[in-house]
């Protein structure tokens, strides 16, 4: 499982790039969340932490993969 790091850029398996802004907790469930921004729009989004490293197909493709050069 890859480490999720604030400030790093990740590529979604469909191709778009996202920057990790921070971590948060859901106010009612206390579930760990990731706050991130699409590089194209700069909007803030959240996603459950456990979904970030999910495998999305039978080939073992991760939902998000760290971009090594971080653009």
The residue extents of the domains of the chain are 18-66
pLDDT, greater one: 65 or 70: 65
Give the tokens for residue 38.
Answer: 């699409």
Nearest C-alpha neighbor of 10 from the set 30, 35, 27: 35
pLDDT 10s digits, 16-58: 999 999 999 999 999 999 999 999 998 999 999 999 999 999 9
- Nearest alpha carbon to residue 49 among 61, 63, 38: 63
Q: What is the pLDDT of residue 69?
A: 67
């Amino acid at each position: 499982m890859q480490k999720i790091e604030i400030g790093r850029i990740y590529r979604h398996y469909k191709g778009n790039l996202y920057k990790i802004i921070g971590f948060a907790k859901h106010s009612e469930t206390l579930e760990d969340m990731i706050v991130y921004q699409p590089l194209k729009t700069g909007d803030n989004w959240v996603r459950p932490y456990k979904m970030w490293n999910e495998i999305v197909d039978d080939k073992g493709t991760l939902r998000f993969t760290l971009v090594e050069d971080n653009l």
